[in-house]
Structures are given as C-alpha cells and as structure tokens.
Amino acid sequence: MARIVVIGSGMGAMASAARLAVAGHRVAVYERAATYGGALGRFERDGFVFDTGPGLLHLPAVYRDLFVKTGKEPLEQCVALTPVDPASRHLFDDGTDVSLPNASRARVASALDTALGAGAGERWGDFLNRARDAWDRTRRPLLEEPLQPDWQVLGRDPYPSVRRRRVLRRDRQAATVREIGAWELAEPRLAALLDSYALAYGLDPRTAPAAAAVLPYMEQTFGSWYVRGGMRELARALYERCLARKVEFTFGAEVAAVTEKDGRAAGVELADGTVVAADTGGLRRRPPRPRRDDAGTRGVGTGRRGAGARAPGPVHGVPRAARRPPGRHGPPDGGPLPRRRRGGVRGVPR
C-alpha cells in the first residue's frame, strides 16, 4: 500500500483517486479551491442552480466503467441520466431548420434527407463510417490506456480521407475538418453542420485535423445525456465515491511544488510551506510531453518504476472533453452563418 498524493479534485483527479484507493493505496487529495469538481462548477441564485462548466455528458460509458470498478452502486444509481432529444437544432442561413435526434444514426439520416434533400443522410452516414474508423483507432490508445513511450506512432491522422484522383494534378485528400466538408460532404449545409461540431469544441475547422471527425461520430452514436440536477451532480457522486473509498480531501490547499528525492517524486509542498510525503513512484523529472488529460491534476507516486514509468498525469483520467461555447458557426465558403442550438436545460430548480 503506497501513500499517494493527488493534486487537484477535478473529475480527472477524483477518478484517479478513487481507482488508486480501490487498488489499496492510501490517497490524499490536495485542492486549492474550496470545493471539489474543478470545471464542474455551480452557480446558485433565487432557488435555481446553473452549471458553470459542461452541461451535457457525451460518453457516459467512461463513468459507468469508473463507478463499476470503484464500488457497488453503478452510475445510474448515483445520478439520473436523461437522454437529450432532440440532441441539437441547426438553423441555416437559407432558412433550413433541422433538429437532429439523439443517438440514432438512422433517424439523423432521415432528418437530414427531409431537411436538406434526398441523399444528404446517406452522404453524412458515409462520412460517419469513416469517422468511426478514426474512433476505433484512437479510442484505446488515447482514452483507455496510459500513454505509451512510443506515443509518436499516434502521430498520423487516423481519419481515412477519401483520395480524389485529379487529371494532371496531384491527388487530393482532406487533412482538416474544413476540407472534409468541402471535398467529401460537398454540400454547404452538411459542411456547415460538420464545422459546428468542431466549433462547439473550441476548434477552428480550418485547422482542426480531419480526426476531429470523431466528435460528431461520438455525439451521434453514443448520444447526449443530461444529468438531473446538473453536471455538478456527477461531481458530487464521484466525490462521495472517493469518500466511501476513504480518500482524504484537503481544500484550500494549493500545491506549490512536487518534491523530489534521487530524481523521483517524494511528495508535494503546499503554498503555506507544509510538506507532504508520498511514496516514491515513477515520476520522471522531465516528461517528454504532457498528457492530453493533464489539466492541472497530477498523480504523484504511482508506484511504477523504470522504463515503463508514467509521466506525471492522472493514472486514469476522463477524456479531456470539450469547451462548449455557445456558438455560431460558418460554412466552408466563409458565407453567412447558421446557428446551432443544443438541447439541455441550463438552469434547474434546486
């Protein structure tokens, strides 16, 4: 049993803490804020509560797995999940208005055919099949496994762009979201629809890699879910799971430094000068590259040594998901902007 310090109590850190505790370690979380949850904040006023971070859950399977592996009650016993249907509504500049149903590719195709004309659904479906290939290739190495030392092999874009042969010119293959829209979807409103997914995640479709095609694939395949009472309820459930596993939390405790001994992590130093010891683990002094889900949370003392040691970062993190700006989004030609409205309740009575 190792003594392990986890920095921060965002969802990634709490997920790590719960899993480490189940593995038999003594886990102490130090959080600089006054509460747990990190980005899953809450604003309360006049008897209503509002999420200040994410509003919808797109991959409940990640949390189902976490709750199954860290305790007796499954996710659905800890929070109430409601599918958001329709998942989104799209208003295009030419007056086209389409609502996309939740988690049903067949019904999405039919809605697109009705709103955009026959064949639109099939074209979108063909694109989603290619996006599924990218998802199948990236899901395990990026979301489910620790980053391997040879992470460079992930460097090639996994989206199988359609190669277009052109007379007397070089073949053309989409490398960005915008190019998929222009060359593969080849319908301005479908292209704008694709753009909208990238924009909703804070990505610029002109530069977002083709692999960002997994975003609409994920949403339309696994669906959008509303957590009754707001996403903060998910943070509460995870916090309670951690407490049940005897994870200790200290709030208002900013970690100022990771202390080292013989080149290995030995604990943390808090901003007030307190030093907390942790068992030495495989923390490398200079990680080659930060992990995708390393948003201010670090696991110290993972108990691993040697070549397979992990760089700092949660041992198990939730996928770093998207920022969700309310958004207007543009078609590939830079023309007038359609609007996208997402389902979901923003303020709910307490």
Ligand X SMILES: Cc1cc2nc3c(=O)[nH]c(=O)nc-3n(C[C@H](O)[C@H](O)[C@H](O)COP(=O)(O)OP(=O)(O)OC[C@H]3O[C@@H](n4cnc5c(N)ncnc54)[C@H](O)[C@@H]3O)c2cc1C
- Least Å distance, CB 16 to ligand X, is 9
- Could you tell me if 313 and 283 are in contact, meaning their C-beta atoms sit under 8 angstroms apart? no
Q: Which is nearer to ligand X, 109 or 238 (CB)?
A: 238
Rounded CA-CA distance 81/225 in Å is 6
- Least Å distance, CB 139 to ligand X, is 15
- Least Å distance, CB 84 to ligand X, is 11
Q: Can you read off the two tokens belonging to residue 271?
A: 């901003």
Q: Which amino acid is at 264?
A: R
Q: Which is nearer to ligand X, 17 or 182 (CB)?
A: 17
Query: Closest Cα partner for 191 from 327, 330, 340, 86?
Result: 330
Residues in the site for ligand X, rule: CB under 6 A?
A: 7-13, 30-33, 38-40, 53-56, 58, 254-255, 293, 295-297, 320-324
Q: Which is nearer to ligand X, 109 or 268 (CB)?
A: 268
Q: Which is nearer to ligand X, 54 or 205 (CB)?
A: 54
- Least Å distance, CB 102 to ligand X, is 14
Rounded CA-CA distance 293/6 in Å is 14
Q: Which is nearer to ligand X, 38 or 332 (CB)?
A: 38
Q: Can you read off the two tokens belonging to residue 29?
A: 């979380």
Beta strands in the chain (DSSP E): 3-7, 26-31, 42-45, 48-51, 81-83, 88-91, 97-100, 164-166, 169-172, 225-227, 248-251, 255-261, 264-270, 275-277, 298-300, 339-342, 347-349
- Least Å distance, CB 240 to ligand X, is 17
Q: Which is nearer to ligand X, 39 or 345 (CB)?
A: 39
- Least Å distance, CB 298 to ligand X, is 8
